[in-house]
């Protein structure tokens, strides 16, 4: 998640889900917030015992849905169907915060999303 606004945003009373029919599947733990121009990563890995940012659901590699909901799940703040996921690629908004959802060829966890689609990324070979 990215806060592109000028004030810290509390995530209290918000939910993450991978199921449109269960919008309150993962209550975001009380006390988490995102300062202005900062990022917060949630791991949709089905292992909440690992910490507050690990969800109780796991996204399906072949495609899934992810949503952020408020007001006891009564409205979607943001949601997106996510297609098949591939190693070393990510899926997010470009530009951050208000751009279109797209495959990003340069994964950038906890920092600004970059559009690297036109870059040639060759492996480094040493002799």
**58 shares a domain with 97:** no
Residue-wise pLDDT for 86-116, tens only, equals 888 888 888 877 788 888 888 888 788 877 7
Phi–psi pair at 59, nearest 5 degrees: -75, 145
**53 shares a domain with 22:** yes
Residue 124 pLDDT > 80 = no
Q: Please check whether residue 27 lies inside any domain of the structure.
A: yes
**50 shares a domain with 27:** yes
**72 shares a domain with 17:** yes
Quote the pLDDT of residue 64.
Answer: 92
Residue 127 pLDDT > 80 = no
What domain range is 29 assigned to?
Answer: 2-85
Q: What is the pTM of this model?
A: 0.81
Which of 91, 118, 120 minimizes the C-alpha distance to 107? 91
> Do residues 23 and 13 touch, judged by C-beta distance below 8 A?
no
């Amino acid at each position: 998640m990215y806060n592109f606004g000028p004030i810290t945003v509390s995530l209290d009373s918000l939910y993450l889900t991978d199921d449109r029919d269960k919008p309150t599947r993962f209550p975001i733990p009380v006390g988490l917030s995102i300062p202005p121009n900062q990022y917060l990563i949630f791991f949709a890995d089905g292992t909440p015992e690992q910490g507050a940012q690990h969800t109780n659901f796991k996204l399906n590699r072949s495609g899934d849905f992810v949503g952020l909901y408020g007001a006891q799940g009564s409205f979607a703040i943001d949601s997106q169907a996510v297609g098949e996921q591939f190693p070393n690629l990510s899926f997010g908004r470009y530009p951050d915060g208000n751009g279109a959802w797209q495959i990003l060829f340069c994964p950038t966890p906890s920092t600004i999303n970059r559009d690297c689609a036109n870059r040639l990324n060759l492996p480094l070979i040493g002799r």
